[in-house]
Amino acid sequence: MDDDRSPDRTYMDMALEEARRAGARGEVPIGAIVVETATGQVLAAAGNGTEAMADPTAHAEILALRAAARTRGRPRLPDCTLYVTLEPCAMCAAAISFARIRRLVFAAADPKGGAVLHGPRFFTQPTCHHRPEIDHGIAAEAAADLLRTFFRARRGADRTHERPTAQE
């Protein structure tokens, strides 16, 4: 539900803020938050950083998991919830599983690149040895709008750039 003020919505709003900041840096606007499930303490917050870091693996989820694990001094986060604004890709789904994340909450579904509800459906595979609880759809419209606006602006910029050859 987009209109309720549940703790999930509050944390997803923080993830959306990270996504907005990423977009402002010229990154695809995706954000992630790692929260200690029982206490609600935020351990890490990150936006997508692939461009600035010149790192194809610097997805918001990976950066947030790394930061949270570093804070804890342990590679596994079995008492944590990961909030992310878009359905995780296969790489991030694997990282979430390796981190033993207890609960995954994502906003918008991603039929093109997602790996939870779509594509490989990573957590349902027999080779996946830890499956988090999964909830999705919280603030989905807001998350999808951010992405749509970002890609529309980028396509517009591309078109302007290509105008000399595109006009006939």
Q: Which amino acid does the sequence have at 162? A: E
Distance CA 86, CA 61 (A): 10
Select 10 or 124, whichever has its Cβ closest to Zn ion.
124
Question: Does residue 18 contact residue 142 with C-beta atoms inside 8 Å?
Answer: no
Closest contact distance (angstroms) between CB of 84 and Zn ion is 9
Tell me if residue 17 is catalytic. Answer: no
Say whether 106 sits in a helix, a strand or coil: strand
Closest contact distance (angstroms) between CB of 146 and Zn ion is 16
Select 54 or 165, whichever has its Cβ closest to Zn ion.
54
The DSSP call for residue 157 is H
Q: Which amino acid does the sequence have at 34? A: V
The position carrying tokens 């003020």 is 5
Closest contact distance (angstroms) between CB of 38 and Zn ion is 26
Question: Does residue 57 contact residue 91 with C-beta atoms inside 8 Å?
Answer: yes
Catalytic pick among 18, 27, 61, 87: 61
Report the residue number whose CB is nearest to Zn ion.
92
Select 35 or 63, whichever has its Cβ closest to Zn ion.
63
Question: Does residue 12 contact residue 1 with C-beta atoms inside 8 Å?
Answer: no
Positions touching Zn ion (CB under 5 A) are: 59, 89, 91-92
Residues marked active site are found at 61
